[in-house]
Each structure stands twice: as structure tokens, then as C-alpha cells.
Amino acid sequence: MLWRLDRLERNGLVERIDCGRLLSEPVFAVTRSGLELLELRGHALVSLPSTAKDIVRRSQVLHSVELAEICAALTVAHVLISWQWELEVLSQNLVYGGECTKDFDALVKVSDGNRIKGFAIEFERTAKGTARYGDLRKVLDAANGVDTILYLTPDPSILYLLAVELRSANKRIGLALSRAFRSSLLSTNVLTNTSANDVVTFREFLFG
């Protein structure tokens, strides 16, 4: 796989992102030329055209890497049915007026071997202020097309902050540490936004 990335890099279609010592593996991002080639081949995103001012937001690199690792873990475990990235969801909403009115980090469908169920993923790397969580609850309450949301975070303190701030949201929300979810997936214990903050496995939470 790395030799393919090296070839794409030599041709200016992807570039390495310098993450310092934060990540042990190299991170690559598509370049403007890479997007232009994808558009030429019929793979365009309205939400990220090659004419965009910023192709890669450096502040979002770690966020994207974490989500990519979650996607990879679900794929390797053979439970992932589909994964739509935020930019894909946003494009659908812009073009077709998609059924999901919030641009979640990902819209995911997984299988437990017998059943298929969809849910949204939100990754919370840093904490927000109380006012912003108030706005977020309103957005979640108004969101169509999704009734189950999995919030992932690397920080236990943020997890419990989310549990408090999202308790009154009218969506079914499960909360878990991202590293635990990558490891255990459907067997991960998730904290729910029920009145008692019940803890159940994600399989039980999702499939009932």
C-alpha cells in the first residue's frame, strides 16, 4: 500500500501531512491536483471542489485520522456495511436535500451477523462551552433521518461532560471512549443518555 502512496505523492496527487510526534505513521492528504483528477474521473464532491480555498484543514487532521481508524477497525472486523463521511453527507444535503439534516462526522451501517442497523458517529476531541452544547442539543433535536448517535471521545472527562450536556436530547445517544470502541466495537460498553445513564454494550444499545 505504501508504494502506491509514494507513487501518488511523486505525481503530486497526495501530500504528506506533518503531524510532528503525535502520530507514528505517515498521514497523507489529497492535493488540489488530486481532486482535479478525481473530478475528471467523475468522483466529485460539491462540499469540497478542487477550487476550494483550503483543501486540507490542518486543525482537523487528527480528528480525521481518529475517524479513519474507527472505520478501519469496523472493516477489519467484517461488521461494516457502509460508511459515509461528513463531506459526503454534506454533499448529499446540498444537492438532494438529504434526509439527514445535520452533517454528522459519519453515517454508518453495521451488521451483527443477522441484522443491519444504521447510526451516526460524532467524534468529540475537545470540550465545548455550555452555550455551544445548548445549541448542539437544538440541532440534534431537529435532525431528521437519524435517531441513534454514537459519541466517541479520547478523554474520560469529556465523556462525562457529554453525558451531562446531552442527557436531555431527544435522540438515543451512546457515549464511549474512542480507543475502547476501536478495540471492542459492538461489545463496547457505552454510557447512554437515559435518565439513569444506563451502561450497556453497543450491540444491545443499537439492536435492542
Same domain, 131 and 171: yes
Same domain, 72 and 130: yes
Same domain, 197 and 124: yes
Distance separating alpha carbons of residues 118 and 116, to the nearest angstrom: 7
Query: Within the chain, which residues score under 50 in pLDDT?
Result: none
Question: CB burial class (10 A; 0-12, 13-18, 19+) of residue 21?
Answer: exposed
Q: What's the confidence (pLDDT) of residue 120?
A: 96
Distance separating alpha carbons of residues 114 and 116, to the nearest angstrom: 7
Distance separating alpha carbons of residues 114 and 133, to the nearest angstrom: 36
Q: What's the confidence (pLDDT) of residue 100?
A: 56
Domain that holds residue 140: 58-207
Q: What's the confidence (pLDDT) of residue 44?
A: 84
Q: What's the confidence (pLDDT) of residue 101?
A: 65
Q: What's the confidence (pLDDT) of residue 97?
A: 66
Looking at 38, 56, 74, which one is the last position of a domain?
A: 56
Distance separating alpha carbons of residues 44 and 8, to the nearest angstrom: 18
Same domain, 26 and 102: no
Three-state DSSP class for residue 186? helix
Looking at 56, 72, 94, which one is the last position of a domain?
A: 56
Same domain, 185 and 140: yes
Mark residue 147 as left, alpha or beta (left: phi above 0; alpha: psi -120 to 50; beta: remaining).
Answer: alpha
Number of domains making up the chain: 2
Q: Are 94 and 44 in contact (CB under 8 A)?
A: no
Same domain, 183 and 141: yes
Q: Are 160 and 154 in contact (CB under 8 A)?
A: no
Looking at 56, 79, 96, which one is the last position of a domain?
A: 56
Same domain, 42 and 5: yes
Same domain, 121 and 36: no
Same domain, 124 and 145: yes
Same domain, 17 and 77: no
Q: What's the confidence (pLDDT) of residue 197?
A: 81
Same domain, 91 and 14: no
Same domain, 162 and 203: yes
Q: Are 176 and 190 in contact (CB under 8 A)?
A: yes
